[in-house]
Amino acid sequence: MNSLDQTLSLSASGMQAQATRLRHVSENIANADTPGYRRKTVPFEPQALPGDRFGQASGVRTGDVLLDRRDLTRIYDPGNILADDSGYYLGSNVDIMVEIADAREAQRSYEANLRMFDQSRQMQTALIELLRR
C-alpha cells in the first residue's frame, strides 16, 4: 500500500471513529431527561491498517462503549411514579453543555479528516494525470 493509499485509509478511519462518537453524543442528548440513563462514551484505540509493514498503529478505531460512573442526579418530584418515599427519583448524569462541546469537537475532527481525505484523493488524481502524459 503506498503512502497516498495509507493517507486515505487513515482519514477514513478517523471519519468513521468520529461518526461513531457523534452518534453516541446524539444518543446522550436524546436521553438527557430519561430517568436512570447513564452517559455513554467511546474511547479511541490505535489500529494497524492493511498493508502496514511495520505493525505500527496508523489508524484509529473505537473501543467498547463505556458508561459514565458518576452519580445520577437526584430529582425532587413527589408526583412522579418513580419517586421514592422522600419524593426523589434518579435522573440521568448527562450534562448537555459537555455533550454539545463533544459534538462540536467530533464534527470539527470529522471535517479535518474529510479535508485530508479530499486532499489525498486530489493528489492521487494529479499523479495519475501526470503518469498519463
Other CB atoms within a 10 A radius of the CB of residue 17 amount to: 24
**pLDDT tens digits for 30-86?**
999 999 999 999 999 988 766 656 556 578 889 999 999 999 999 999 999 999 999
Mean pLDDT of 7-11: 85
**What's residue 109's pLDDT?**
95
Flag whether pLDDT at 110 surpasses 80: yes
Domain coordinates in residue numbering, the chain: 3-132
44-64 core/surface letters (b: 16 or more CB in 10 A; e: else): eeebebeeeeeeeebbbebee
Measuring CA to CA, which residue among 47, 89, 40 is closest to residue 69? 40
pLDDT at 37: 96
Q: What is residue 51's three-state secondary structure?
A: coil
Instruction: Give the model's pLDDT for residue 56.
Output: 60
Cα gap 46→52, rounded to integer Å: 13
